[in-house]
Amino acid sequence: MRTLLVTSLLVLAALAALGPTASAQQSSYLALVIDAPLAPLTEDARTVTLTGVATLTVDVTAYTSTSGIPVTYALQAPPWMAALITPTTDSFPLPSTPPLGAAVTISRPFTITIVADALESDATQKILAEGWTTPSFLGTPAHGMGETIIVYDAPDPVDEEDECALTPEQKAALLAAGEDLRAQWEAEQEQAAGSGRDDVSVQNAGATLTPAPWVAVAAFGLVGAGVGLVLSRRSRK
């Protein structure tokens, strides 16, 4: 009877000694950090690759029977973009001879590739990366999350009226061309008057000039050039 009592006490003492150690071995923490994009996404630059780091802090005495701690990643993204995290599974390597009771921190890289849809309006939303470890022996799973903000800068809406209008520079160019034609016509009138030609009507400086037929054609050409500029601007929409 006495022998049984002593044996029971020894077993209880051993369990009491192991209890805190086993509890301490349950400690683990996973953190994910994602770099922010350097610039907003745009219609001409809708793809970006981001880098990230997963860091696991763990009491390695809980994992001395493993060669590494597996981790699985998942990604949540808004519907207007396609997002892929690489790799989707990885492993945190453990020191070959970890010090007893010491916490060890291990980091592993990952990347996130994003391809956004062509949006008609601006958008700002976050993407969320998650990771889960799958330990063995006495360890407990660790869960970590990381996020970053993705900004899409849509092109400005086109004003139909402004798009069809000539710029001040284009208007000035058309007016200058018209003045050149007028001056050329006046010079030809004066030259014809000096040569005694009867088929040309010469008017004084104060009179209203009557353009020759070819000058009218040139004027129509100027109008056509202006219309051509408008159509060219509209075709670039």
pLDDT at 78: 93
Q: What is the DSSP string of 181-219?
A: HHHHHHHHHHHHHHTT-SSS----TTSPP---HHHHHHH
**Average confidence score pLDDT of the chain:** 74
The model's pTM? 0.56
Q: Are residues 219 and 142 in the same domain?
A: no
Full strand arrangement of the beta sheet holding 28-34: 28-34, 47-59, 103-116, 81-86
Q: Are residues 48 and 104 in the same domain?
A: yes
Split at pLDDT 50, 70, 90, the class of 51 is very high
Q: Are residues 94 and 175 in the same domain?
A: no
pLDDT at 17: 39
pLDDT at 187: 80
The number of C-alpha atoms within 13 Å of 142 and in the hemisphere containing its C-beta is 26
Q: Are residues 45 and 78 in the same domain?
A: yes
The residue out of 123, 153, 183 marking a domain boundary is 153
Beta strands in 11-102 (DSSP E): 28-34, 41-42, 47-59, 68-76, 81-86, 89-93
Tens of pLDDT, residue by residue over 1-38, are 445 443 444 434 433 333 333 334 456 889 999 999 99
Per the structure, the count of domains in the chain is: 2
Is residue 18 assigned to a domain?
A: no
pLDDT at 7: 45
pLDDT at 134: 83
Q: Are residues 107 and 184 in the same domain?
A: no
Tens of pLDDT, residue by residue over 114-171, are 999 988 899 999 999 999 998 765 567 889 999 999 999 998 876 655 555 677 887 7
Residues pairing with 69 in the sheet? 92
Phi/psi for 185 (5° steps) reads -65, -45
Q: For residues 82-119, b (16+ Cβ closer than 10 Å) or e, as one string?
A: ebebeeeebbbebeeebeeeeebebebebebebebeeb
For residue 38, the enclosing domain spans 27-153
Tens of pLDDT, residue by residue over 96-122, are 776 666 788 899 999 999 999 988 899
Identify the H or E element spanning 109.
Answer: strand 103-116
Q: Which two tokens mark 39? A: 């610039």
The CA-to-CA distance between both ends of the chain, in Å, stands at 99
Amino acid identity of 225?
A
Q: What is the DSSP string of 88-108?
A: SEEEEE--SSPPTT-EEEEEE
- Compute the average pLDDT of residues 193-202: 58
Q: For residues 162-191, b (16+ Cβ closer than 10 Å) or e, as one string?
A: eeeeeeeeeeebbeeeeeebeeebeeebee
The residue out of 103, 127, 153 marking a domain boundary is 153
The residue out of 135, 153, 171 marking a domain boundary is 153
Q: Are residues 148 and 164 in the same domain?
A: no
Per the CB < 8 A criterion, the answer to whether 164 and 230 are in contact is: yes
Is residue 20 assigned to a domain?
A: no
Strand pairing of 41-42 and 143-153? parallel
Q: Are residues 149 and 166 in the same domain?
A: no
Per the CB < 8 A criterion, the answer to whether 112 and 85 are in contact is: yes
